Every structure is written in C-alpha cells, then in structure tokens.
Amino acid sequence: MTRSRLRILAASLALLAAAAPALAAEGYQARTGAAPPRFDEKLFPPWQHGANNDAEHRGLEFTVPQVDVMADFHGSLDDPKLVLFVGGNYFFAMAPLVKAFEVEHPEYKGRLFWETIPPGLLVDQMKSGGTITVGNMTFTAKADVYLAGLKKVEELVKDGTLEGPAVPYVTNTLTIMVPAGNPARVADLADLGRPGIRLAMPNPAFEGIARQIKASLTKAGGQALADAVYDAKVKDGSTILTHIHHRQTPLFLMQGIADAGVTWQSEAMFQEQAGHPISHVDIPAKDNATAIYGGAAVKDAAHHEAAKTWLAFIASPTALRIFEGYGFKPYDKGGIAGAD
C-alpha cells in the first residue's frame, strides 16, 4: 500500500473514531445534567505523542487515536540491546527515564524496547517465551529486566524466574481518581460503596494494586466495604474491572462511564500535569497503602550486563529525581511500615 493510500485510510479511520467521544459526551450529559468534558485527540492513548520512541529511529507515522494504537509498547524491536518489562502504572515516567539513561549510556541509544502492561500479564508473557499478540500483530520480546511491586519481584526471584538480588527504588500511595469537578461528590473510600456511584477498579486477577486497594477499603469500612466494591458492585455492573487501569480508568472518567476509581497517586498527578480533566481525592494515611517498586534481572537474560546497568540506574539520584516529579518517594527501608 502506498503512503498516500495509508494517509487516506488513516483519515477515514479518524472520522469514524470521531463519533465515539461525541456519543460518550452525549451520554455523560444525559446522566449528569452537566456539560461533558471536552474530548480531543490528546485525551486518548498514546498520551506521550511519540516521546517514548526516539525520533531518529521512527518511520512512517500511522497512529489513529481510539482506533489504531499500541500505547504500551515502546522503542524498537529491531535487535534491541535491552528489553524492559515494566509494570504499567508509571508508563508516563519511562520516556524521561529512558532519555536520561541514554545520556549516561549512549551505547544503548535507540536500542531499547519496553512494555508497560500490567505486571501479572508481563509474567504471563515471560512464561509464554516472550510471545504476545496485540490486535493483529504477534511478536516475541524476551525480557532482560522485570520491574513491578517489590513483593512480586521477590517471589519471582525465589521461584527462579528472576535473578536476585531484587533492587527496590521508589514508593507510591493510593488516591481516588475522579473527573474534574468531582460531579459525584466522592469524599472518601466509604463513598465508593454508595449505590449509584460507578467505579472503574483494577482487576485483582493481574493488577497488583488491587490487593492494596482491598486492604485500604477494609481499613476504611471493614470487609463489608471491600465486598461491596469488589463483589456486589461487580455483579450489578456498577464496578467495571479494568484490564489496564493506568489507561482505562482516566479514559472511563473522562468519557462519563465511571464516577471514580482508585489508582496510584502518581497516575492522578500525571493526568493533572498533562492538563486532562481529571482530579483526585486524597486518602488519609491511616486508610492508605504504600507500594514499594523493585526490579531484577531475568534469569538467563540475553543482555545481562545491560540489565545490571539499568538496575543500577533506576535507583540512582538521576532516576529518583524524575520519579519525584510524579509524586513517587525514594525507597527508605527504615521509614516504611507495612508496605508491599
């Protein structure tokens, strides 16, 4: 197919895609009586507009928001020298992290590939030999480094999937993400159990954050609140379980499909910094949960030295400064109690 035909196809797909936000906005106004959020291309993945892919190594641009994107796959599969499997809830930090890494280690410039899907799905991909199907495309990417919650990383070191030691680097806490203006007037975790409050919640099957959310719900309202959010409301359809919470939750909120969702604080901060119509409700420390992020090299990694180089970088002052810009805190073992 010629480039001119590709451009015509892309334009046609874009016109078809334009109807979706209009319908979502119409539904939002019918349900809430309020003017819907403004929808435009920048609200749809990929939200970093190519920043995660070195311009020097990019080819024909063919991205149609809402229709034809691969938002959680980054870099080049053309003989990469380092492959990172990154739990997706800091996908937004990866572009500046990779850029800083390439400045310090120019031998890897343009030679990284990384994925930012949920950590449980990354493990499934590793167990399938690195092969994954996304839409109509099937490819194989074998990880050199796995980065997720520290507890999960340590489990995978113990079972021989990863090579120790696990390297902890930053921590994160939970927040309640809501649309700008908080039209449902969600004030705290207890409100998530209210009838009529529609939720977008991470799926416990493969999103590690769900474990911490359930613990926080139990602290705030007992087992009854946790059961309401993750059982009764799932059954009655007022809780949607996401597949990729770090991308679906804000989109569902902006589309008027949900009124609230629990995410990591850093994700809400990114949305707000990006200028999207998203806000958040703080969760008190007594009800909150702290996650520790860690990483380790994959056993028999093809690029073992590169893996060690990345693990040294991710805990370095340069990387920690980037993380802090999104609300993460440097890992301090002595200052954390009860964290996962």
Average pLDDT over residues 121-148: 96
Alpha helices in 136-200 (DSSP H): 150-158
The amino acid at 126: M
Structure tokens at 94: 């990866």
57/113 Cα distance (integer angstroms): 12
Identify the pLDDT of residue 1: 46
User: pLDDT for 247-260, tens place per residue?
Assistant: 999 999 999 999 99
pLDDT band at 26 (very low <50, low <70, confident <90, very high): low
The torsion region of residue 212 among left (phi > 0), alpha (psi -120 to 50) and beta comes to: alpha
In DSSP notation, 66-94 reads TTB--TTEEE--SS-SEEEEE-GGGHHHH
Residue with the bigger pLDDT between 4 and 239: it is 239
Write down all domains in the chain, each with its CATH number in brackets. Answer: 44-170+293-335 (3.40.190.10), 172-287 (3.40.190.10)
Residues facing 242 on adjacent strands: 202
Identify the pLDDT of residue 339: 40
3-state SS string over 275-334?
CCCEEEEECCHHHCCEEEEEEEEECCCCCHHHHHHHHHHHCCHHHHHHHHCCCCEECCHH
pLDDT band at 309 (very low <50, low <70, confident <90, very high): very high
Residue 290 has pLDDT above 60, yes or no: yes
Q: What is the average pLDDT value for the chain, to the nearest integer? A: 88
Average pLDDT over residues 152-169: 97
Residue 18 has pLDDT above 90, yes or no: no
Average pLDDT over residues 73-93: 94
Residue with the bigger pLDDT between 340 and 119: it is 119
Structure tokens at 193: 């159990």
For tokens 């996650």, what's the residue?
291
Closest by CA position to 102, among listed 171, 169, 50, 52: 52
**Torsion angle, alpha carbons of 338, 245, 199, 272, to 10:** 90
Closest by CA position to 84, among listed 115, 127, 126: 115
Closest by CA position to 152, among listed 166, 136, 140: 166
pLDDT band at 20 (very low <50, low <70, confident <90, very high): very low
3-state secondary structure of 55: helix
Between strands 290-298 and 162-179, the pairing is antiparallel
Lowest mean pLDDT among 57-61, 135-139, 161-165: 57-61
Residue 330 has pLDDT above 50, yes or no: yes
- Nearest-Å Rg of the Cα atoms of the chain is 20
Identify the pLDDT of residue 197: 97
